[in-house]
Amino acid sequence: MTIFTGSDTSKTRRELSVGGKTYAYYSIPAAQEAGLGDFSRLPAALKVVLENMLRFEDGKTVSTEDIKAFSEWADKGGKNPREIAYRPARVLMQDFTGVPAVVDLAAMRDAMVALGGDPEKINPLNPVDLVIDHSVMVDEFGNARAFQMNVEREYERNGERYEFLKWGQGAFNNFRVVPPGTGICHQVNLEYLGQTVWTDQDQNGVEVAYPDTLVGTDSHTTMVNGLAILGWGVGGIEAEAAMLGQPISMLIPEVVGFKLTGKLKEGMTATDLVLTVTQMLRKKGVVNKFVEFYGEGLDHLPLADRATIANMAPEYGATCGFFPIDDETLNYLRTSGREEERIALVEAYAKENGFWRGANYAPIYTDTLELDMSTVEPSLAGPKRPQDRVPLSSAAEGFLKVTADYRGVDLSAGATEMAAEGGATVPVPTIETIAKTAKVEGETYEIRDGSVVIAAITSCTNTSNPYVMIAAGLVAQKANALGLTRKPWVKTSLAPGSQVVTEYLRDAGLQDDLDALGFNLVGYGCTTCIGNSGPLPEKISKAIADNDIVACSVLSGNRNFEGRVNPDVRANYLASPPLCVAYAIAGDMNINIMEDAIAQKADGTPVFLKDIWPTQKEVSDLVMKTVTREAFQSKYADVFKGDEHWQKVDGGEGLTYSWPASSTYVQNPPYFVGMGMEPGVIDDVTDAKILALLADSVTTDHISPAGSFKPDHPAGKYLIERQVPVRDFNSYGSRRGNHEIMMRGTFANIRIRNEMLDGVEGGYTKGPDGETTSIYDAAMEYIEQGRSLVIIAGKEYGTGSSRDWAAKGTALLGVKAVIAESFERIHRSNLVGMGVIPFEFKNGDTRKSLGLTGAETVSITGLKGDLKPQADVPATVTYADGTVKEITLRCRIDTAVEIEYVENGGVLHYVLRSLARAA
């Protein structure tokens, strides 16, 4: 139950009758009538937050001044960064982030007992749904048995984790688990869990209607913004605090309006659109801001396309990418099987309370930008960042540069020929002259730099969208009709975001065509997008490794960071599902897929992309015919039941968890060991050593990888010492319930580069003796010596997933501070939540301008006593030769509540002490 702290006699409380039923609600027009300000021109996304203030106004946590601040926001042109306490209605989790969150709750129950309190106080107050979607791995592919074999392997690998989650489902109230094989959490949220307008009973048993809101332990929680539900990703620690009744401390955000006009041209997809939007917004700079989409272009944008755009808010850096409620919202709610009573409430509530996007919708925004959708062109993004959009027409040319950079070849000559010594001429380098080629042992084919070795239809971003999924099936159908097939070196897979996708692909008669090209169902989950691509065939993997081939993947996902998709693949490209099918047929990123033949028919006739690309009418006709209300209702009828595998899982019972000593998946973390009732103080950082010196755009994947790891790395050694065979290592993501694994995996990405070392990739640094060693081993030695540690980095530190272990691991390695040029929103919050202080360079200082090599020590003062949010503090850098330089840092503890969190050692410690005192 949502806890309502506001008064039921509030002057903003009204009644709304819909279909013979009466609901209470908190009225924004009533707040205006009461003289609290003019809220009429607020964006819908911000009105959701305002309604939250009205509903929870109590004079303490939320005051009248907080409410008035929203009117002032409009008066000041969309800026008024006042600190507010926001309470989402519910929490969404997936298993990679959800398991450690439940581990933390279990550990907090143990700690509550140690503090003499009631363990049942550690219990979610708001509804929590955990969807198991990150565990399935593509071990088997390209055959009819792939799905069943991958499911069996999933349960074999993850039995301990699933038993733990079954225990949590029984031990905690308001906590539901959606079993494996159902779908991806964001798609399940969009298609089933989300309601747009939520209802609940207040403390007096009265039914109250209010906007559906949530936070999720996955950055792509924003996908549901497409359904006009305000949600965003947070780290597990922040989500746990929200579950336990702690409001989210935030500043009233700026809201950037993104006006969409026109409509997509023939042949364009939602993926082309979202990659364009991502590039534009990343260039604009929207970190820590809301983005709201508006304009007449929305009239031509199906909700599935809106969800695709909203999904990638983390990639363009925004807190959310919100679409207001309109007729298309209602259409989707109806098609996806929501109750008619709910749909009627959504329409009535939105119109009554000012959330409806009508023809005259024209709010005030902090800033705006605009896109005519008719200008969107076919696109990819890569090879290692989602914002690096590449026009499809120049993708081959772009990959030539990737190859040249990797091979150290200069492409600066622009002519057809370039002068060589002695006046002779030689051709400008081409892929044929600079690429490495490798024979695959025992096969009749070769691979080379640019060979596409993975083509994966994967992830919530695109598999939630029937338009691009049907298009992929039609490409396969047309290719089969021409006798085409995938190239033999391409690992193909199809991992839909929900069972509904399988239903409509089968009803459309397209699944057989996808199967014929190797896009057999491999599982319902994130798979390749999260790094669970599984191993490449051994011969191909060996050819890549032995010959240092720059191999490629093409995936319909949202993330293509270095080292994420597969350890054998260096260049990763995001693409629409139909393009994934096309590249499986072409098999090579060096082909200009817009102009060159991608294959040949049996008689040698060339086949071009246009020959197999479907028309918009072909796609939309099949969508209208096969994507039905009945399909959604049947597939979600028993969503929490699971298959026979899940039903056999025994999680045991008890208020507290009996931690199995032998488990290598779930262990009691050390966060609360020796914790007393009184918080500490924030100490200065004195003579700290630099553990890592990192460049721009270091992602949470770099800091805490999710994929596979090797036996000679610290985490692998840990498992081998416990007699775990390499075959059963699983992934870092699946072992997030064991802090010993995750500490050893922190900063262990195979592609991370510590600038303290020359030309070395992977999780290495210089130890106390100056010798190269793993970051984990060096940190443990420094901890034994009693030395504090800092991380130094460039811009956009912590981009990507809302991965709490990127902060937890940093804290457990003894790092007291991270100093960067700028931070991404979620990771900054996670660091604070773990008691690690983020600092930003000021006055133009950077690691480069300061000439840092990693041999320096760093001291930061001004932290003791009366530290203010976002204060400037003095710091000194002492160089190896004894030279001292004084600099100023900006402390990125952003709010007063966050200062309390750090004083307590983290947000969970703060919440635990608060609950123990109230017991």
Residue with tokens 């593509």: 138
- pLDDT (tens digit, 9 = 90+) per residue, 597-624? 999 999 999 999 999 999 999 999 999 9
Residue-level pLDDT at 10: 81
Burial of 219 (0-12, 13-18, 19+ CB in 10 A): buried
Per-residue pLDDT at 249 exceeds 90: no
The superfamily in CATH containing domain 90-375 is Aconitase, domain 3 (3.30.499.10)
Task: Count the alpha carbons within 13 Å of 86 in the hemisphere toward its beta carbon.
Answer: 26
Give me the phi and psi of 547, to 5 degrees please: -115, 10
CA distance 105 to 737: 12
Which token pair is 15? Answer: 């009644």
Taking residues 402-423, report their average pLDDT: 69
- pLDDT (tens digit, 9 = 90+) per residue, 689-726? 999 999 999 999 999 998 889 999 999 999 999 999 99
Q: Which helix (H) or strand (E) holds 371?
A: strand 367-372
Burial of 183 (0-12, 13-18, 19+ CB in 10 A): buried
CA distance 691 to 746: 12
Indicate the domain borders of the chain.
13-86, 90-375, 379-408+436-631, 685-704+746-918
CA distance 529 to 555: 7
Per-residue pLDDT at 230 exceeds 70: yes
Burial of 410 (0-12, 13-18, 19+ CB in 10 A): exposed
- Check if the beta carbon of residue 436 is closer than 8 Å to that of residue 547: yes
Per-residue pLDDT at 807 exceeds 80: yes
CA distance 240 to 262: 42
- Check if the beta carbon of residue 804 is closer than 8 Å to that of residue 830: yes
H helix runs in 508-593, sequence order: 511-516, 538-547, 577-586
Contacts of 523 (CB under 8 A, 6+ apart): 136, 137, 138, 147, 150, 151, 154, 181, 495
Q: Please check whether the domain covering 379-408+436-631 is classified as CATH 3.30.499.10.
A: yes
- Report whether the peptide linkage leading into residue 427 is cis, meaning its omega lies within 30 degrees of zero: no
pLDDT band, residue 416 (cuts 50/70/90):
very low
Burial of 251 (0-12, 13-18, 19+ CB in 10 A): middle
Residue 854, Ramachandran bin (φ over 0: left; ψ between -120 and 50: alpha; else beta)? left
SS3 445: coil
Task: Check if 90-375 and 379-408+436-631 are the same fold.
Answer: yes
* Other residues' Cβ atoms within 10 Å of the Cβ of residue 408: 7
Give me the phi and psi of 379, to 5 degrees please: -145, 155
Q: What percent of the chain has pLDDT over 70?
A: 97
CA distance 802 to 797: 13
- pLDDT (tens digit, 9 = 90+) per residue, 471-522? 999 999 999 999 999 999 999 999 999 999 999 999 999 999 999 999 999 9
H helix runs in 671-728, sequence order: 700-703, 714-721
pLDDT band, residue 531 (cuts 50/70/90):
confident
Residue-level pLDDT at 417: 46
Per-residue pLDDT at 420 exceeds 50: no
Taking residues 115-123, report their average pLDDT: 92
Per-residue pLDDT at 427 exceeds 90: no
Per-residue pLDDT at 426 exceeds 70: no
Q: Would you list the DSSP string of 860-885?
A: E-S-SSSPPTT-EEEEEEE-TTS-EE
* Other residues' Cβ atoms within 10 Å of the Cβ of residue 755: 19
Residue with tokens 């997030």: 736
Per-residue pLDDT at 415 exceeds 50: no
Confidence (pTM): 0.88
- pLDDT (tens digit, 9 = 90+) per residue, 834-863? 999 999 999 999 999 999 999 999 999 999
Residue-level pLDDT at 803: 86
Per-residue pLDDT at 347 exceeds 50: yes
Per-residue pLDDT at 422 exceeds 60: no
Residue-level pLDDT at 424: 55
Domain 685-704+746-918 carries which CATH code?
3.20.19.10
CA distance 258 to 322: 10
- pLDDT (tens digit, 9 = 90+) per residue, 713-763? 999 999 999 999 998 998 898 899 999 999 999 999 999 999 999 989 999
Question: What does DSSP assign to residue 190?
Answer: I
Looking at per-residue pLDDT, the higher value among 865 and 589 belongs to 589
Q: What percent of the chain has pLDDT over 90?
A: 88
User: What is the torsional sign of CA 263, 267, 270, 273?
Assistant: negative
Taking residues 171-196, report their average pLDDT: 96
Per-residue pLDDT at 868 exceeds 50: yes
Bridge partners (DSSP) listed for residue 230 = 213
SS3 421: helix
Angle between helices 499-507 and 466-481 (to 10 degrees): 40
Q: Would you list the DSSP string of 5-36?
A: -S-TT-TTEEEEEETTEEEEEE-HHHHHHTTS
CA distance 174 to 170: 10
Per-residue pLDDT at 419 exceeds 80: no
- Check if the beta carbon of residue 150 is closer than 8 Å to that of residue 522: yes
Task: Count the alpha carbons within 13 Å of 265 in the hemisphere toward its beta carbon.
Answer: 7
Taking residues 75-90, report their average pLDDT: 95
Long-range contacts of 759-767 (CB under 8 A, 24+ apart): 763/713, 765/691, 765/692, 765/854, 766/854
Tell me what the pLDDT averaged over the chain comes to.
94
CA distance 716 to 108: 28
Residue-level pLDDT at 5: 47
Contacts of 771 (CB under 8 A, 6+ apart): none
